[in-house]
Amino acid sequence: MSTNTDTDYDLIVIGAGVGGFDAAKHATHRGLKTALVECRDMGGTCINRGCIPSKALLAAAGTLRKIQHTEIFGISVEGIHYDRAKVAAHAMGVVEKIRTDMTKTTEKMGITVLRGKAKLLEPQKVHIETDSGIQTITAKDIILATGSEPFVPPGIEIDHHTVYTSDEGVRLEQVPPRIVIIGSGYIGLEFSDIYSTLGAQVTIIEALDQLFPGFDPDIGRMAERILIKPRNIRTMKGVLAKKITPGRPVRIELSTGETLETDAVLVATGRRPNSQNLGLEELGLETERGFIPVDNRMATAIPHLWAIGDVTGKMMLAHTASAQGVVAVENILGHERSMDYRSIPAAAFTHPEIGFVGLTEPQAKAEGYKVGIVRTYFGGNSKAIAQGETDGICKLVFDQESGELLGAHILGPEASLIVQECSAAIAKRDKIESLARLVHTHPTLSEVLDEAYKRAAG
């Protein structure tokens, strides 16, 4: 239990997104008197405008896609249609359910939730602007978990109706006949899956010379072949959208000199940290492109001040923020903990999915490893064949000298689940030789890993 009497709280967490929420839960569970400050909705971007509503939309799109391809099982379905408003309502209902559950959890655990905009006055003092006035509270330690927001490049005008970001996209207020998606990262890729399944003509504009630059090259090429080319999706690579003007139609001026007209534009060009107006400059804490520098313990350069999640720029994923929150709390308690980013998996919930963890082949080579790779394919997997989902690849990256598994990159059914096994292996720095002795249930999709381990072990 807390024994602190010099401050109002043992810990103040600023930002009630997934990372801040989990940090507050863990701190309270460990006996710290904790306050959680939030200026918007409980759950932050992930629950309200990101992971959760987008996955609800993808679940609807995936269900529709499956219904459209039942003939291989001898099942005929006629008169398939969807109700956009009901699809959107389902997504928002999921958001409300999870947000309400989070609020109930804070109440049950005795976490003080303060609504308002926070600013640091000192490393251990916070000024909060609330609807009822100004409140000042103190704590022995403070965790900044203020998250991020969509980045909109210069020249792009947002009107939130015809030109918008994922914040508006998850509400599915429309399925435009034609939509242009700016950016081919995982956000753009997931929305291309949603919109194309629901009947829109999709165009993806990518400023770089290759699509899906964040993925291993083999996965990027396979994604283009499976997720783009067979669908109602057009791509433009190495092209910059210099100016976008909202309206009906929306006008897009390209770096090629060409002008496109479309019904809507979704801007998916990355995210920027919410570090403005937190009082960091007054405390002498410098940011790097807006991101708050931290070490692997999640400590900033100022004692008793910590930062987690997107605002640190380490890995802009909700589960990364959660892990960082736990690490920060453990270090606050005096238990040395550090982050292991290599073992944190990520996924794109397209149909089929993409799951990956660790180093890509180019990254491993750049770090000086003697790189070995193996590839296996879902086309030879019994379970995939049985369920009619044979498109996909599993690629392992390993160190030929030590045998250590360095990375795993999977495109195929349930890839987000399959890759978790590799995440655990990388966390333990397992060797291919020991992984090849694991026994996988037959018939399961996870046998793509079984085959890959055995091939790598020779």
395: phi then psi, degrees, rounded to nearest 5: -125, 125
Res 4: pLDDT: 53
pLDDT tens profile 122-175: 999 999 998 889 999 999 999 999 999 999 999 999 999 999 999 999 999 999
As a dihedral over the C-alpha atoms of residue 376, residue 381, residue 383, residue 385, rounded to 10 degrees, the angle is 120
| Beta-bridge partner residues of 291 | 288
Rounded average pLDDT over 30-47: 97
Domain ranges of the chain: 9-150+272-339, 163-269, 342-457
- 342-457 placed in CATH 3.30.390.30: yes
Both tokens assigned to 126: 């916070």
442 is catalytic: yes
Q: How far is Cα 306 from Cα 330, in angstroms, rounded to an integer?
A: 12
pLDDT tens profile 376-413: 999 999 999 999 999 999 999 999 999 999 999 999 99
Res 131: pLDDT: 86
Q: How far is Cα 406 from Cα 323, in angstroms, rounded to an integer?
A: 20
Residue 417's pLDDT band, with cuts at 50, 70 and 90, is very high
Question: Quick check: 39 pLDDT over 80?
Answer: yes
Query: Residue 230 carries which side chain, given as an amino acid letter?
Result: P
Looking at 69, 160, 335, 442, which residue is catalytic? Answer: 442
Q: Are the folds of 9-150+272-339 and 342-457 the same? A: no
pLDDT tens profile 15-33: 999 999 999 999 999 999 9
Question: Quick check: 260 pLDDT over 50?
Answer: yes
Size (the chain), residues: 458
Cβ-Cβ contacts under 8 Å for 107 (sequence gap 6 or more): none
Question: Quick check: 452 pLDDT over 60?
Answer: yes
Question: Quick check: 340 pLDDT over 50?
Answer: yes
Q: How far is Cα 254 from Cα 356, in angstroms, rounded to an integer?
A: 33
User: How many CA atoms does the CB half-sphere of 33 hold within 13 Å?
Assistant: 14
Query: Residue 413 carries which side chain, given as an amino acid letter?
Result: P
User: What is the CA 148 to chain-centroid distance, rounded?
Assistant: 12
Res 377: pLDDT: 98
Please tell me the CATH code under which domain 9-150+272-339 is placed: 3.50.50.60
Report yes or no: 335 and 327 within 8 Å, Cβ to Cβ: no
Res 390: pLDDT: 97
The mean pLDDT of the chain is 97
Task: Name the pTM for this structure.
Answer: 0.95
pLDDT tens profile 199-254: 999 999 999 999 999 999 999 999 999 999 999 999 999 999 999 999 999 999 99
Res 1: pLDDT: 46
Question: Quick check: 38 pLDDT over 50?
Answer: yes
Question: Which of 388, 385, 394, 386 minimizes the C-alpha distance to 412?
Answer: 394
Please tell me the CATH code under which domain 163-269 is placed: 3.50.50.60
| Beta-bridge partner residues of 243 | 253
